[in-house]
Amino acid sequence: MDADIKSKIIELSITGIKDIWNFEVPSGSIIIQKTRPEFTSDITLVVFPLTKFTKTSPDKTAQQLGEYLKNRIPEIEGFNVIKGFLNISLINSFWISFLHDMYDDTRFGFTPPGSSASVMVEFSSPNTNKPLHLGHIRNNLIGNSLSEILSATGNKVIKANLVNDRGIHICKSMYAWKEWGAGETPESSGIKGDKLVGKYYVEFEKRLIAQTKEKIISIYTQIIKQATPINEIKKEDIKLATFDAIPRTIETDYDYNEIKDAFARALITYNQTGRFPSIEEDKFIIEYFKKYTSLFNDAQEMLRKWEDGDETTIFLWKKMNDWVYKGFETTYRELGISFDKTYYESETYLLGKEIVDEGVRKNVFIRKEDGSVWCDLTDDGLDEKLLQRSDGTSVYMTQDIGTAAERFKEFPGMKKLIYVVGSEQEYHFKVLFLILKKLGYSWAGDCHHLSYGMVDLPEGKMKSREGTVVDADDLIEEMYETSRQTTKELGKLEGIPDKEKESICRMIGMGALKYFILKVDPKKRMVFNPKESIDFEGNTGPFIQYTYARIQSLLRKAGDWRKVTGDLPAGRHGRRQDTGNTLKIQPVEKNVIKLIFDFPGVIRQAADEFNPAVIANYMYELAKEFNHFYQTVPVLPAKGGSLPAGQAGASGGKAEDEERLNFRLRLSDTTGKIIKKGMNLLGINVPEKM
RNA sequence: GGCCGUGUAGCUCAACGGAUAGAGCAUCAGCCUUCUAAGCUGGUGGUUGUGGGUUCGAUUCCCGCCACGGUCACCA
């Protein structure tokens, strides 16, 4: 296939410049791009950068280079020069034979994956104390789509999930359930497992806050008693007279100052209004004093028991995590997400300890007097990083070092380890990769943090405390419902069995959601407005799905029509050797072919940039361009039976009509196939009808 | 405060350093006795946060400023 016309032009341009102007230019200085739609040609060569070699005007350079290329590349039909842009037109048959050749190339744009593991994509990575929300959806969709894209470019991809199943958060849920749950289970309550565990987490936090407030008030009271008279308290006076009355469990300087200010604010508020600030007014105090409550200690105690392997605690932990996994499974299934490998932090959290010890021996890390281990990154412009607490327990970073090493051991040929994790952890990964490098791992440079921006609401961040978190299941169900409604309103899918109808509606609703999220560049923050439902028109998933369904309908009809007439040339599955040499392609047709031509490059770009949005935006372009074609020229013959004429009124002979029909069907079929493949790269399915 | 990121139409998003900055939504006007109107055609809407610089050319690269966000834990 001669799809490499671009590199041919680049190569010959270089030799051309050498031949004509006797100058050897670096290949990077030849800039080729698509001709903008307002000009009638196919490929544009920007000559401005060349003029410093050719020492002539842009126009003249373009003119001469154009001649040179035209004389040597048979596919070039002609060219024109506008303001230093060399616009090159390719001959008709180039496009036709391109379409012809790639029609049978079922792998067009795809490279078959190798047999050995080459790339691991870690994504999703949920905590087990709460259900999934919109942020997780973005993470999952990006991770899944990226995996698809990387497989399409020849990688064997391992999709990995690292479940955070241990820690204080799940203990909070466990404690709350044990204390106030009265034996409630997903079965007894009908509540989805992850939701139920989340409910108890919220319950715990609620009570914790209440208890913290009590605690604070008792401290306040103490302060008030000591610091008389209250109405004379000024911010500057707080520190000695009042603050010292607080139990001196506060140790760090940083917090000490912060909390002093917070107390000052609280007391002044009390002084002025007769009450202490609520949590909304001064979150800091509450956050800080949580750890001095009995509830917090109880949860902490539970964590200790868990770490000691206490049987009843482990039993409860397993039970509640299992509820959560069942719940997650449902959500994953709806999202079409699966993993090749699931890691659990309860199994990995101790990894990395030996590596830390080794690092100390190799003087990569420092052990301080209190026993804590640090990595000094100040030479790299970063801070010191803790790797092991003074009590010998490890922190998150330690675990990440351990799991990374473990994974490269497990999959020796691995070329890349990609972490799909939110941008708030950029610093963490920067440090992690740097430490891995310092430890001397050869693969340290193969780790990559795919950092994505968070999903914001119009008012800003989602906040669980304010109840603005968009629940994943709720959102999915809403999408389905909107889809059902829209389908009904439009009178679509009538006469189709309910079961099939439902499955199509879901496909569309899910397509709308996925496309909405994936069309945005991962690294950018995006805004989701829960009050306005996601559109089904315009630049949306359903629009592209619709285009696909339309094409399938067209092809079905074409099959029928062929059966009736019986004498049409091979359409879908055959081929005509002479196709493409007499037919004059029209602009609406060529625009679609040109986009098809771009498909392999688009996949490559998406893979290089780790960016599914590249695919999404291309899909929209293609669907749009196809619809334009579809609406402008007829594909199938009119009901009377004669074949469709080319240009209105300019009907050619019968052979040409047949050729045109064949060509347009092939163009439609190819577009449909590419839409399907491309949408699958986004994890979106396309319906045969809608 | 240090570091990182973002800023494009009323809103949501595009634009390998290239031509007059593009789409969709919203809004206005048209198109179903030819293949699915979840579609198509056209109108309205911009000093690309701001001020400099680099060059044939800057939304894109560099610097200053402004705004917003993230991050700087013996949290994960």
Q: Residue A265: what pLDDT? A: 66
Do residues A580 and A100 touch, judged by C-beta distance below 8 A? yes
**pLDDT higher at A177 or A576:** A177
Answer yes or no: do A422 and A563 share one domain. Answer: no
Do residues A160 and A340 touch, judged by C-beta distance below 8 A? yes
Answer yes or no: do A236 and A356 share one domain. Answer: no
Nucleotide nearest to A689 (CA to C1'): B36
Nucleotide nearest to A488 (CA to C1'): B38
Q: Is residue A461 situated within a structural domain?
A: no
Residue A230 has pLDDT above 50, yes or no: no
Answer yes or no: do A280 and A422 share one domain. Answer: no
Report residue A662 as tokens: 């064949």
Residue at a domain's end among A266, A282, A297: A297
- Residue A254: pLDDT band (50, 70, 90) is very low
Q: Is residue A228 situated within a structural domain?
A: yes
By DSSP bridging, strand A526-527 and strand A119-122 are: unpaired
Nucleotide nearest to A636 (CA to C1'): B35
Residue at a domain's end among A456, A490, A521: A456
CA of A563 to C1' of B30 (A): 38
Answer yes or no: do A650 and A553 share one domain. Answer: yes
Q: Which residue is nearest to nucleotide B68 (CA to C1')?
A: A460
Q: DSSP assignment of A323-351, as one string?
A: HHHHHHHHHHHHHT---SEEEEHHHHTTT
CA of A115 to C1' of B7 (A): 45
Do residues A404 and A398 touch, judged by C-beta distance below 8 A? no
Average of per-residue pLDDT across A394-414 = 93
Distances A284 to A155, A256, A259 between C-alpha atoms, Å: 48, 12, 8
CA of A453 to C1' of B51 (A): 29
**pLDDT higher at A235 or A476:** A476
**pLDDT higher at A293 or A669:** A669
Q: Residue A172: what pLDDT? A: 94
Q: Which residue is nearest to nucleotide B20 (CA to C1')?
A: A38
Do residues A96 and A581 touch, judged by C-beta distance below 8 A? yes
By DSSP bridging, strand A157-163 and strand A526-527 are: unpaired
State chain A's mean pLDDT as an integer.
86
CA of A458 to C1' of B36 (A): 36
Question: For chain A, what is the domain count?
Answer: 4
CA of A461 to C1' of B69 (A): 9
Helix axes A311-335, A472-489, angle to 10 degrees: 20
Q: Residue A583: what pLDDT? A: 77
Nucleotide nearest to A509 (CA to C1'): B38
CA of A254 to C1' of B65 (A): 30
Q: Residue A261: what pLDDT? A: 61
Q: Residue A643: what pLDDT? A: 53
For A247, the 3-state DSSP assignment is coil
Q: Residue A252: what pLDDT? A: 32
Q: Which helix (H) or strand (E) holds A388?
A: strand A384-388
CA of A655 to C1' of B3 (A): 70
Q: Residue A276: what pLDDT? A: 65
**pLDDT higher at A135 or A246:** A135
CA of A588 to C1' of B30 (A): 21
Helices and strands, number each (H, E), in chain A: 23, 14
pLDDT in tens, A278-292: 655 565 667 667 777
Answer yes or no: do A490 and A603 share one domain. Answer: yes
Rounded CA gap, A655 and A120, in Å? 54
Instruction: State the amino acid at position A631 in one-letter form.
Output: Q
Distances A622 to A111, A141, A343, A448 between C-alpha atoms, Å: 21, 22, 39, 31
CATH number of the domain that residue A31 is part of: 3.30.1360.70
Rounded CA gap, A418 and A375, in Å? 23
Residue A212 has pLDDT above 70, yes or no: yes
Rounded CA gap, A317 and A221, in Å? 39
Q: Is residue A310 situated within a structural domain?
A: no
Q: Which helix (H) or strand (E) holds A88?
A: strand A85-90
Q: Is the dihedral of CA A618, A623, A629, A631 positive or negative?
A: negative
CA of A657 to C1' of B4 (A): 61
Do residues A299 and A171 touch, judged by C-beta distance below 8 A? yes
Do residues A366 and A360 touch, judged by C-beta distance below 8 A? yes
- Residue A193: pLDDT band (50, 70, 90) is very high
Nucleotide nearest to A252 (CA to C1'): B73
Answer yes or no: do A522 and A493 share one domain. Answer: yes
Rounded CA gap, A592 and A623, in Å? 9
CA of A49 to C1' of B62 (A): 21
**Cis? peptide before A634, omega within 30° of 0:** no
Average of per-residue pLDDT across A291-308 = 89
Nucleotide nearest to A544 (CA to C1'): B38
Q: Is residue A104 situated within a structural domain?
A: no
- Residue A322: pLDDT band (50, 70, 90) is very high
Answer yes or no: do A144 and A236 share one domain. Answer: no
Answer yes or no: do A533 and A656 share one domain. Answer: yes
Q: Residue A253: what pLDDT? A: 32
Nucleotide nearest to A384 (CA to C1'): B72
Query: How crowded is the C-beta side of A90, counted as CA atoms within 13 Å?
Result: 25
Q: Is residue A117 situated within a structural domain?
A: no
CATH number of the domain that residue A146 is part of: 3.40.50.620
Q: Residue A235: what pLDDT? A: 46
Q: What number of residues does chain A have? A: 690
pLDDT in tens, A638-678: 765 555 544 433 445 666 777 888 899 999 999 999 999 99
Rounded CA gap, A79 and A604, in Å? 29
CA of A81 to C1' of B56 (A): 16
Q: Residue A561: what pLDDT? A: 62
Rounded CA gap, A109 and A91, in Å? 23
Model ipTM value? 0.96
Do residues A336 and A683 touch, judged by C-beta distance below 8 A? yes
Q: Is residue A108 situated within a structural domain?
A: no
Q: Residue A399: what pLDDT? A: 93
Distances A208 to A200, A298, A321, A652 between C-alpha atoms, Å: 12, 11, 22, 82
Q: What share of chain A is helix, strand, coil (3-state, %, to 5)?
A: 55, 10, 30
Rounded CA gap, A591 and A44, in Å? 15
Which range (A53-67, A626-640, A672-686) has the least confidence? A626-640
Report residue A201 as tokens: 């987490």
CA of A190 to C1' of B40 (A): 48
Do residues A685 and A511 touch, judged by C-beta distance below 8 A? yes
CA of A624 to C1' of B9 (A): 21
Rounded CA gap, A51 and A62, in Å? 9
Nucleotide nearest to A535 (CA to C1'): B25
Report residue A152 as tokens: 């399409």
pLDDT in tens, A428-481: 999 999 999 999 999 999 999 999 999 999 888 888 777 889 999 999 999 999
Nucleotide nearest to A58 (CA to C1'): B56
CA of A117 to C1' of B75 (A): 34
Nucleotide nearest to A639 (CA to C1'): B34
- How large a percentage of chain A has pLDDT more than 70? 84
Answer yes or no: do A581 and A434 share one domain. Answer: no
Q: Which residue is nearest to nucleotide B14 (CA to C1')?
A: A617
Residue A239 has pLDDT above 70, yes or no: no
CA of A130 to C1' of B47 (A): 48
Q: Residue A222: what pLDDT? A: 64
Nucleotide nearest to A381 (CA to C1'): B3
Residue A241 has pLDDT above 60, yes or no: no
Answer yes or no: do A526 and A636 share one domain. Answer: yes
Give residue A224's domain range: 193-297
Residue A40 has pLDDT above 90, yes or no: no
Residue at a domain's end among A297, A323, A352: A297
Answer yes or no: do A420 and A481 share one domain. Answer: no
By DSSP bridging, strand A76-82 and strand A31-34 are: unpaired
CA of A533 to C1' of B27 (A): 19
Answer yes or no: do A492 and A607 share one domain. Answer: yes
Phi, psi for A367 (deg, rounded to 5): -100, 125
Q: Residue A508: what pLDDT? A: 97
Rounded CA gap, A131 and A158, in Å? 25
CATH number of the domain that residue A670 is part of: 1.10.730.10
- Residue A380: pLDDT band (50, 70, 90) is confident
Nucleotide nearest to A372 (CA to C1'): B74
Q: Which helix (H) or strand (E) holds A385?
A: strand A384-388
Q: Is residue A171 situated within a structural domain?
A: no
Q: Residue A105: what pLDDT? A: 83
Rounded CA gap, A388 and A372, in Å? 5
CA of A526 to C1' of B68 (A): 13
Nucleotide nearest to A392 (CA to C1'): B74
**pLDDT higher at A293 or A64:** A64
Do residues A54 and A17 touch, judged by C-beta distance below 8 A? yes
pLDDT in tens, A83-130: 889 999 999 889 988 998 888 788 899 998 887 768 999 999 999 999
For A525-636, strand residue ranges (E) read: 526-527
Average of per-residue pLDDT across A618-630 = 97
Q: Which nucleotides of B are covered by protein (CB under 7 A)?
A: 3-7, 11-16, 18-20, 23-26, 34-41, 56-57, 68-76
Average of per-residue pLDDT across A394-417 = 93
**pLDDT higher at A259 or A69:** A69
